[in-house]
Amino acid sequence: MRSTLTTTWLLLMFLVILMSLFAHFEPHSSFFWTVILGLSGLKFLLVAFQFMEMKRANSFWKVFLVLFVVLFIALLLFL
């Protein structure tokens, strides 16, 4: 259990560093927003499933959460 939490935390830190580096080098690219929002959605799902115990929830809530994140990011990208 402890190893899984540490691995998830390290992955989250890597994603934060990756997002900050990407934001520094490509601030005005249209591809920039897609990558930043995609990484943010991935971080949200990692936190929800690992630290908020969504991995033990009913399948309906798992699917609903993933679909909500995907639709929210798609909505932000198309606006």
- What is the C-alpha to C-alpha distance for residues 77 and 32, in angstroms, rounded to an integer? 11
22: pLDDT strictly greater than 90: no
Task: Read off the pLDDT of residues 5-21 as tens digits, 9 standing for 90 and up.
Answer: 889 889 999 999 988 88
| Mean pLDDT on 60-69 | 94
pLDDT score of 26:
65
What is the residue-wise DSSP string for 5-58? HHHHHHHHHHHHHHHHHHHHH-TT-HHHHHHHHHHHHHHHHHIIIIIS-GGGS-
| pTM of the predicted structure, to 2 decimals | 0.82
